[in-house]
Amino acid sequence: MKTCFIIVAFGLLSFGCATRHEEIVSTNLISGDPVEQIIRERLQPEPIPLPATTPFDSDAKKQAAYLNGFRKAWDDVVSGAFLHATIGVSIPDGLEEPWRAGWKDGCKIAVDRWFQEFDKWRKENTSPPNSSP
């Protein structure tokens, strides 16, 4: 499953690099997977773990673009939109590099966090085999 996320992430990043702008699309979830819903409900109340520093701290506009990209990635992954390729982006002109860098970093952290929560859910819902005498 982790391989699937990596493939989807590279596909989305490649597509984003090939086009200057994409239209914003609906982020309604297609899947009614109860596990995804449980993980989404656990993660959405968490504060976005914004980095204390960015590669663009010396330029306020670029820093803001980076943090906006980071927030967008976090929201896309946590909401489940990333899982179903129902995300859309609007990248500010002239700030494509910092926005994409923020999205890439935010996506990595959010996917890692999603998998942590999935592993936690799996451990909670996997009962040990009965030991018969």
The domain ranges of the chain are 2-118
Please give the span between the terminal C-alpha atoms of the chain, in angstroms, as a whole number: 36
Task: Tally Cβ neighbours within 10 Å of residue 76.
Answer: 23
Q: Which of 49, 120, 38, 50 is nearest to 80 (CA)?
A: 38
Query: Tell me, what's the pLDDT at 76?
Result: 87
Mean pLDDT by groups of 10 residues along the chain of 133 residues: 55 47 38 79 91 96 95 87 64 89 94 92 78 53
